[in-house]
Each structure stands twice: as C-alpha cells, then as structure tokens.
Amino acid sequence: MYTEIFLFIITILVTVSYIKKIKNSKNIINSSLIKDFESYISVLEYHMEKAFNIIFKERILVYSLDGLRVKEEEIDVITRDFCSLVIKILGPTLYQNFIFLYGNEKTLMINMINFFNTRYEDDQIRESSVNSIMEKDDTTK
C-alpha cells in the first residue's frame, strides 16, 4: 500500500515537473520569436516579393501598361493566387513556422493580403502610364 502511494506521488511530481519544462520551453521559443522577429519578417517579405513579381508579370502588367486597373472580381482571384503562390514558395516547413509566428493561419493570410494590396496600390508602372496618357492628351489639345 505504501509503495502504491509512493509511486503515485512520484508520478504526480514527475508530471508537474514535465509541465513546468513545457511551459518554460514555450516561453523560450516565444522570446526567441520576438527577439528575431525582424529576421523572420525579412524572410517572409522576400518570398512575398518574389511571388508578387511573378503574379504581377503574369496577371497585372498588361493592365498597368495600358494605365488600367484590374476589375475587383479579378483582383480577388489574383490575391488568392498570390497567397497560394507564397505558400508554395515558402514550402511546408517555413509555412508552418510562419503560422506559428502569427498565431494562426488566418492572421498570416491577412498579412499576406495586406502586403499584396499595398504593393498593388503602389503600382508605379500604371501611374506612369496614366501620366503619359494624360500628357499626350494635353499636347493634342
């Protein structure tokens, strides 16, 4: 009987010790993520930039050269394609690490979509095409 009680107490102590180690390791991981956040973001931005350039050349450049904006329905599809391409370029390990960094997949997607929208709105080619068209109209009058 005493042996059973002793083993039970030992089991509880080992379990409590293990739980404390897990909590401490999570704190170490979280502090490492915070400390190296800029490095992680640099890696993510590199891959998003790469994906944006591919998507831009294939799906948006034609509109930009004509000084036009892509239709809203089509830009939604292009945005989803951009996110899918980023995920493919990242690979499964980096993708899971970024999900962990942002807390969940939805938050990571929001950040990728925000990156895409910001870059799309800052389309210098479309802006210069529109300016060029406007200058031609001014000179013909």
**pTM of the entire predicted model:** 0.69
Mean pLDDT, consecutive 10-residue stretches, the chain (141 aa), reads 64 62 52 77 94 91 77 91 96 91 92 92 69 61 55
State the Cα torsion 122-126-130-132 to the nearest 10°. Answer: 110
Q: What share of the chain is helix, strand, coil (3-state, %, to 5)?
A: 90, 0, 10
The pLDDT value given to residue 61 = 82
The pLDDT value given to residue 44 = 94
The pLDDT value given to residue 103 = 86
Query: Residue 26 and residue 15: Cα distance in Å, rounded?
Result: 17
Q: Could you tell me if 104 and 40 are in contact, meaning their C-beta atoms sit under 8 angstroms apart?
A: no
The pLDDT value given to residue 45 = 94
